[in-house]
Amino acid sequence: MRPNQPAPIIGLVAVAALSGNPLQAETDPIQPTRGAMLSNSCAACHGTDGNSPGEIPSIGGKSARFIETALQEYRSGKRTGTVMGRHASGYSYEEIRLIAEFFTHGN
């Protein structure tokens, strides 16, 4: 090999970069969806899957439209509640949509 011929080395580097680390998939934790992460604050009262263990209304399985509308109404002050207005006001409209989709589909 001549010193001015880096092609074989570049080829090996490219192959290594494209093949990835075969052990990486085994060590990477499962990444939750953004909707799942955002919904964590709902879990204490509404249950992790939206099915409340107590007197708080269950939201699991409700339509995304129902949940999204309710959160937007709490956010705007149109609907009142003890803590829901404060929770909802901390989310953007996109985040509210993701939370609603999470509790509807559980993903």
Q: DSSP for 7-69?
A: HHHHHHHHHHHHH--TTHHHHSPPPPPHHHHHTHHHHHHH-TTS--SSSSPP-TTS-HHHHHH
The whole-number pLDDT of residue 78 equals 97
- Structure confidence at residue 56 (pLDDT): 92
Q: Report the number of distinct structural domains present in the chain.
A: 1
pTM assigned to the model: 0.68
Residue 3 within a domain = no
* Residue 89 included in any domain: yes
The pair of three-digit structure tokens given for residue 52, joined into one six-digit string: 């409340």
The reported pLDDT for the residue numbered 97 is 96
Could you tell me if residue 88 is inside a domain?
yes
Angstrom distance (rounded) from CA 60 to CA 46: 8
Query: What pLDDT, on a 0 to 100 scale, did the predictor assign at position 24?
Result: 47
Query: Does some domain include residue 57?
Result: yes
Please give the residue range of the domain that contains residue 52. 33-105
Residues of the chain with pLDDT under 50: 9-25
How is residue 40 written in tokens? 């964590």
Cα–Cα distance measured from residue 102 to residue 67, given in angstroms and rounded to the nearest whole number: 10
Looking at the domain assignment, is residue 15 inside a domain?
no
Classify 53 in phi/psi space as left (phi over 0), alpha (psi -120 to 50) or beta.
Answer: alpha
pLDDT for residue 62: 92
| CATH number of 78's domain | 1.10.760.10
